C-alpha cells in the first residue's frame, strides 16, 4: 500500500486493516469492497485493494499463510515489486536494498549512481557498499529525506557533505 503514499498515511491505514483482519486467512476471505473502504486514504486504493486481497489469497493457498523470505517468490505476489520485496527482506534481516523515492533521489544527488531506473540504482548501490550495510541504506536515506523535506535545503546540505 505504500507506493506513492506517505508513510504517515500508510501506517495507520495498514494498522486499521490488520486490526480488522488479524491474519492472512481472514484477509483472504474479506470482501474487496470492505478492503477498499478501509484503505481509501491511500493513493490508488482500488488497485491496491485488489492486490492486497489477491496477495492474501496467494499467501493463504500457496505459502500456507507464511510470507516467503525469497526475492523471486516475493515479486511473484500480487502488488509486490522490487522495492517492496527488498524492503521486506531487509526488515527480515536479509541483505537487500529497497530503492524508494528518497533512496533513488539521494543516491543520484550524492553521485552514487547516475542511472534513471531504480533497479539500476539498486545495482550501483550494491556494487558501492559492502553487503553488511545494504539493509541500513534505505532506512538511513529515508530518514534523511524526510528530515530535509525542502529540496533546496537538501541540495545545500548535500553540497557541504561532498
pLDDT digits (tens, 9 = 90+) for 115-158: 999 999 999 999 999 999 999 999 999 899 888 755 666 666 66
pLDDT tens-digit readout, 64-97: 999 999 999 999 999 999 999 999 999 999 999 9
Instruction: For domain 7-74, give its CATH number from 3.30.499.10, 2.60.40.180, 3.40.140.10, 1.10.340.30.
Output: 1.10.340.30
Instruction: For domain 95-161, give its CATH number from 1.10.150.120, 1.10.3720.10, 1.10.1670.10, 3.10.105.10.
Output: 1.10.1670.10
pLDDT at 12: 94
For residues 109 and 105, give the distance between their C-alpha atoms in angstroms, rounded to a whole number.
Answer: 6
3 state DSSP class of 16? helix
For range 105-114, the mean pLDDT: 94
pLDDT at 158: 64
Amino acid at each position: 500500500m505504500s507506493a506513492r503514499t506517505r508513510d504517515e498515511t500508510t501506517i495507520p491505514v495498514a494498522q486499521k486493516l490488520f486490526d480488522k483482519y488479524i491474519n492472512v486467512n481472514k484477509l483472504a476471505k474479506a470482501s474487496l469492497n470492505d478492503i477498499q473502504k478501509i484503505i481509501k486514504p491511500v493513493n490508488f486504493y482500488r488497485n491496491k485493494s485488489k492486490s492486497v486481497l489477491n496477495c492474501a489469497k496467494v499467501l493463504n493457498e500457496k505459502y500456507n499463510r507464511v510470507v516467503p523470505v525469497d526475492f523471486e517468490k516475493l515479486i511473484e505476489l500480487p502488488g509486490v515489486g522490487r522495492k517492496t520485496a527488498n524492503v521486506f527482506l531487509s526488515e527480515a534481516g536479509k541483505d537487500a536494498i529497497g530503492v524508494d523515492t528518497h533512496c533513488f533521489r539521494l543516491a543520484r544527488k550524492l553521485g552514487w549512481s547516475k542511472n534513471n531506473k531504480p533497479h539500476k540504482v539498486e545495482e550501483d548501490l550494491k556494487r558501492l557498499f559492502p553487503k553488511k550495510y545494504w539493509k541500513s541504506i534505505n532506512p538511513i536515506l529515508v530518514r534523511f529525506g524526510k528530515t530535509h523535506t525542502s529540496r533546496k535545503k537538501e541540495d545545500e546540505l548535500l553540497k557541504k557533505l561532498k
